Amino acid sequence: MNLKILLPYKLFADIKNVKSIVMETSEGCFGMLPNRLDCVAALVPGILSYRTTTQKTNYIAVDEGVMVKAGSAVLISVLNATGGTDLGKLGELIKTEFNKKEEDQRKAQRVIAKLERGFVYSFDKFRNH
């Protein structure tokens, strides 16, 4: 298989001769071998592992995204990815960096709600005068 990992702004990795891939989806862990049928899966933040013909397992921390397998091509499009071999560091990265996004989204939603309340209050005040 040929594995391409795409980020919103660049090609993160283009790996040839991949023998197996394991990734985390919204339905659980998902493994893939070269003869698997074509498919699509939603990815959650986690560790993606793959083996090439060298039989060495490689690890990449990926953020949420989507995986598409078509023929021998596997395309993974994620918001963020970081490579490395130390699983402990990659696991910590997922906990701190990738999941920090959720807290930032909650903060943004609170700010938007305050702006909406202020707009409605000002509009109501304008309408009553």
pLDDT at 114 over 90: no
Pairing of strands 73-78, 2-6: parallel
Single-letter amino acid code for the residue at 60: I
Rounded to an integer, what distance in angstroms lies between the CA atom of residue 97 and that of residue 12? 18
Q: Is the entire prediction scored with pTM above 0.75?
A: no
* pLDDT per position as a tens digit, 62-105: 888 999 999 999 999 998 888 866 777 777 777 777 667 777 77
Q: Residue 122's pLDDT is what? A: 83
**C-beta separation of 13 from 32 below 8 A:** no
Can you tell me the distance from the alpha carbon of 18 to that of 124, in angstroms, rounded to the nearest whole number?
61
